[in-house]
């Protein structure tokens, strides 16, 4: 429990041209480099993620979006060859400091993956998983209400109300992804990281998830990786464009899509890339 | 000429046929579109040559020896109305002399043997020439079939398919034969000993000589079943926790370079001959156990179920660990990340996600290991003794089904005494039990596989 929740936006360096200075930076990356063995996957990235906003990470395949996203909750710790330098702060505290417990960090920074990955357990158990391991609830009825609220907020409750004890795997792809979002919400994180959450879904399921992101934005800080320009434009307030491991441009989504500063960004968003 | 030479000749002809047909097909292909590729025509020719040739040789080898003996017997100037046994004796003698191990130098027998040898010579020459000529016929046949429309590939594939079906049929038939002979002999045993007396009787001492009416009393197999169960349970008690923990370590915690070394090393355990485990159990573990027991005032006999069970447990650790490791590694990484992403620790992830997902597969592995433990013989013979006691005391000497099968069949036995036949009845029980275990295990493992597909 070493991360204090004290808000500390003042440490954002105002001189950095890439930053848009807003009231509160939930997550702040400073000169982050990531290496997979010899491979230099993220090069000196400095980026702020504001609270109660949706930040979209875009860029061509292999540019390091997932890698950067996984740095934000230290998911890269699970890869043996991966090495991270620089600092990332959550509410002003360095999450790579040696006294920080990555397990506790991940309860504050949750993650939704590209492919829906519900546990082979019942729908109820999937959502109850997080509250259970953290001992967040003291009674069965409290647990039930947490599960139901989470499903509700993920927009799944109506569809599964009468089969909470069916296997999570029996749901459709879109429902599975919303189940995973409900599962992430259930531990009440402060930040939710989403790595291409809609890439395995059809347009209707995608629209549902996008609606959901709009809803969630009021309570959570959201970082989303996406390959769809339209999606980035629809759901995010800020957009960061990555290219070959470098952060090329970052700004308000409006501005990035209508008036990009960098030629590379312009090429990418207009589809004239390369 | 020798059979091997003949085979070599056939092979040469078939190679020749392959070349000829292939080159003819190649030259044809320049002018017309062929249905099959040139080398298919070549293969067709090889088969058209080899199959009839080999068929002739096979037929000859089946028929020639009995035929020649029969003709040689006719040649013998002894009265033909001999008893069956005597004829067999004569036949054996003739073929012995013909093979050069002359025993009794009876001139008439000698003449018959000579005749027998000549007959075999002629028949071989005959067969060889027939085989070579049918192969040559095949060569011509195949050569003439090299036409654009001939479906050589289809024929070749059909022949190959039939060949594979025959191979698999052989395996299936062998299994069926073994099962049938087990059933049949076990049935003969149950003519002597009532089925219930065998399955539920409490005394096993087949060495006792008893009159036929009371014989059922000494063939009670319950002590053997309990002995088997006792030793197998001890083995599973050792192997399951050790194997599972090993698997969890190698699959979840070990760095890749440790895993690549540790896993094969563990699997070597399964490759050690069971005799080696046997004397390890008998010469080291059992005395050590006995001495330790003595220290605490427990009497452990120097042949004990405990010693055999512990060593057997060590032997089957890799069965459990290797399979469980494979199955846990097959649990998708995305599930682990999903759990870690919710702030679960690694051990929580293993306990609550990986193990439950892998559980059916792990149970399958444990059942396979159990069927291996039940069928194991050597360690028990050497470390647990031969005497059948009805006891649940792991410090006592017990014996198992497999061990008794061995002791029943070793030494001079009449084949149809109840004592020998009892081995088949025991074998049948063992077979049914391991079959059931394997069946359940496979069912469970299959069900597991469907989970992520
Ligand atoms: N575990 C790993 N080991 C070694 N290299 C890796 C590993 N994961 C990613 N990389 C490399 O790091 C670079 C960035 O990968 P990353 O997955 O972050 O790209 P991405 O932007 O998410 O691409 P995509 O849009 O295709 O998902 C790539 O060149 C990739 O090859
Ligand atoms: Mg990615």
Predicted local confidence at residue B79, as pLDDT: 58
pLDDT at B83: 66
Q: By the CB < 8 Å criterion, does B453 face chain A?
A: no
Residue B219 has pLDDT above 80, yes or no: yes
Neighbour tally for B413: CB within 10 Å: 13
Most A CBs within 10 Å: which of B254, B337, B338, B451, as the mutation test of the A interface?
A: B338
Q: Is residue A65 part of a domain?
A: yes
| Total H helices, total E strands in chain B | 17, 0
Does residue A16 lie within any of the structural domains? no
Q: Which residues contact B427 (CB under 8 A, 6 or more apart)?
A: B182, B186, B405
Q: Does residue A8 have a pLDDT over 60?
A: no
Please state the length of chain B.
453
For residue A3, being part of any structural domain is answered with no
In a domain, A8, yes or no: no
Q: Provide the pLDDT confidence category of residue A149 given band limits of 50, 70 and 90.
A: very high
- B335 shares contact with chain A (CB less than 8 Å): yes
pLDDT at A5: 39
Q: Which residue has the higher pLDDT, B2 or B185?
A: B185
Task: Give me A135's structure tokens.
Answer: 């001992």
**Chain B residue whose CA is closest to A78:** B337
- For the stretch B250-282, pLDDT in tens is 999 998 889 889 888 888 888 889 899 988 888
Q: Is the pLDDT of residue A88 over 90?
A: yes
Residue-range domains of chain B with CATH: 3-150 (no CATH), 216-452 (1.10.3720.10)
Do A71 and A84 contact (CB within 8 A), yes or no?
yes
Using alpha carbons, select from B274, B233, B235, B308 the residue that is nearest to residue B378: B274
Q: Examine residue A139 and state whether it is found in any structural domain, yes or no.
A: yes
Residue B50 pLDDT level (bands cut at 50, 70, 90): very high
Lookup: tokens for B150? 């001939």
pLDDT at A13 over 70: no
Buried b (16+ CB within 10 A) or exposed e, B386-412: eebbeeeebbbbbbbbbbbbeebeeee
Whether A61 lines ligand 1, by a CB cut-off of 6 Å, is yes
pLDDT band at A270 (very low <50, low <70, confident <90, very high): confident
Q: Print the domain residue range for A100.
A: 26-269
Confidence of residue B82 (pLDDT cuts 50, 70, 90): low
- Would A63 be classed as within a structural domain? yes
> Could you tell me the CATH number of the domain that includes residue A96?
3.40.50.300
Contact (Cβ atoms closer than 8 angstroms) between residue B42 and residue B16: no
Cβ of B347 under 8 Å from any chain A Cβ?
no
With respect to residue A97, please indicate whether it lies within any of the assigned structural domains. Answer: yes
Could you say which ligand is closest to the alpha carbon of residue A227? Answer: 1
CB-CB neighbors (< 8 A) of A183 in chain B: 338, 342
- Domain membership flag for residue A121: yes
Split at pLDDT 50, 70, 90, the class of A164 is very high
How many angstroms does the Cα of residue A40 sit away from the middle of ligand 1? 10
Q: Give B221-238 pLDDT, tens digit per residue.
A: 888 899 899 999 999 999
Q: How many independent structural domains does chain A possess?
A: 1
Give which of B343, B347, B448, B452 to mutate to test A binding, by max A Cβ within 10 Å.
Answer: B343
Range of lowest pLDDT (A20-34, A95-109, A124-138, B394-408) = A20-34
The token pair that represents B235 in the structure block: 């083995």
Distance A267 CA to ligand 2 centre (A): 20
Record the pTM.
0.73
A-B CB pairs within 8 A amount to 69
Q: What DSSP string runs through B390-451?
A: ----TTS----HHHHHHHHHSSS--TTSHHHHHHHHHHHHHHHHHHHHHHHHHHHHHHHHHT
């Amino acid at each position: 429990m070493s991360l204090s929740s004290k808000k500390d936006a003042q440490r954002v360096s105002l001189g950095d041209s890439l930053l848009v200075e807003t009231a509160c930076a939930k997550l702040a990356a400073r000169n982050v480099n990531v290496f997979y063995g010899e491979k230099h996957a993220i090069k000196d990235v400095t980026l702020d993620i504001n609270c109660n906003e949706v930040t979209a990470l875009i860029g061509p395949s292999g540019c390091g979006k997932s890698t950067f996203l996984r740095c934000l909750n230290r998911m890269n710790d699970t890869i043996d060859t991966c090495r991270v330098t620089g600092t990332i702060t959550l509410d002003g505290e360095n999450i790579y400091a040696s006294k920080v417990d990555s397990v506790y960090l991940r309860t504050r920074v949750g993650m939704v993956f590209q492919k829906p990955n519900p546990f082979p357990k019942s729908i109820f158990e999937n959502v109850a998983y997080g509250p259970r391991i953290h001992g967040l609830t003291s009674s069965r009825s409290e647990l039930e209400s947490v599960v139901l609220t989470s499903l509700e907020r993920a927009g799944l409750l109506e569809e599964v109300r009468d089969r909470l004890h069916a296997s999570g795997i029996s749901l459709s792809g879109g429902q599975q992804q919303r189940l995973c979002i409900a599962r992430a919400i259930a531990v009440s994180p402060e930040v939710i990281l989403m790595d291409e959450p809609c890439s395995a879904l059809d347009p209707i399921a995608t629209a549902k998830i996008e609606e959901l992101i709009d809803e969630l934005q009021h309570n959570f800080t959201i970082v989303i990786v996406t390959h769809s320009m339209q999606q980035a434009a629809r759901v995010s307030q800020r957009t960061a464009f990555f290219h070959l491991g470098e952060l090329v441009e970052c700004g308000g989504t409006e501005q990035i899509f209508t008036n990009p500063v960098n030629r590379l960004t312009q090429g990418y968003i207009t589809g004239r890339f390369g | 000429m020798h059979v091997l030479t003949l085979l070599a000749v056939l092979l040469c002809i078939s190679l020749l046929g392959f070349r000829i047909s292939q080159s003819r097909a190649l030259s044809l292909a320049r002018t017309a579109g062929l249905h099959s590729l040139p080398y298919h025509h070549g293969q067709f020719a090889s088969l058209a040559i080899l199959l009839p040739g080999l068929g002739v040789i096979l037929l000859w080898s089946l028929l020639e020896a009995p035929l020649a003996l029969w003709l040689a017997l006719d040649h013998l100037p002894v009265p033909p109305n001999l008893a069956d046994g005597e004829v067999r004796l004569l036949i054996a003698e003739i073929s012995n002399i013909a093979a050069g191990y002359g025993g009794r130098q009876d001139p008439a027998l000698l003449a018959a043997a000579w005749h027998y040898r000549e007959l075999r010579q002629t028949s071989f020459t005959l067969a060889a020439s027939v085989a070579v000529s049918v192969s040559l016929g095949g060569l011509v046949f195949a050569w003439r079939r090299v036409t654009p429309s001939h479906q050589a590939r289809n024929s070749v594939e059909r022949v190959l398919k039939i060949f594979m079906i025959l191979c698999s049929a052989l395996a299936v038939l062998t299994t069926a034969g073994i099962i049938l002979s087990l059933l049949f002999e076990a049935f003969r045993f149950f003519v002597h000993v009532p089925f219930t007396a065998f399955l539920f009787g409490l005394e096993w001492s087949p060495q006792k000589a008893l009159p036929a009416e009371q014989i059922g009393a000494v063939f009670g197999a319950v002590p053997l079943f309990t002995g088997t169960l006792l030793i197998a349970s001890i083995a599973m008690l050792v192997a399951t926790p050790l194997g599972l923990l090993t698997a969890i370590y190698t699959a979840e915690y070990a760095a890749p370079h440790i895993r690549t070394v540790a896993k094969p090393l563990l699997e070597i355990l399964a490759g050690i001959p069971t005799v080696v485990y046997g004397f390890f159990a008998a010469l080291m573990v059992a005395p050590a156990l006995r001495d330790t027991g003595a220290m605490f005032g427990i009497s452990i006999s120097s042949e004990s179920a405990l010693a055999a069970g512990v060593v057997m447990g060590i032997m089957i650790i890799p069965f459990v660990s290797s399979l469980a490791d494979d199955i846990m590694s097959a649990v998708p990484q995305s599930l682990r990340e999903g759990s870690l992403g919710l702030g679960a620790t690694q051990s929580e992830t293993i306990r609550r996600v990986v193990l439950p997902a892998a559980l059916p597969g792990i149970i399958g592995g444990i059942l396979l290991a159990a069927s291996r433990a039940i069928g194991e013989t050597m360690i028990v013979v050497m470390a647990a003794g031969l005497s059948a006691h009805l006891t649940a005391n792991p410090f006592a000497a017990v014996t198992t089904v497999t061990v008794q099968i061995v002791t029943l069949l070793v030494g001079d036995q009449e084949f149809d005494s109840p004592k020998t036949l009892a081995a088949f009845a025991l074998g049948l029980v063992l077979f049914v039990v391991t079959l059931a275990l394997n069946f359940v295990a496979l069912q469970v493992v299959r069900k597991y596989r469907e989970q992520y597909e």
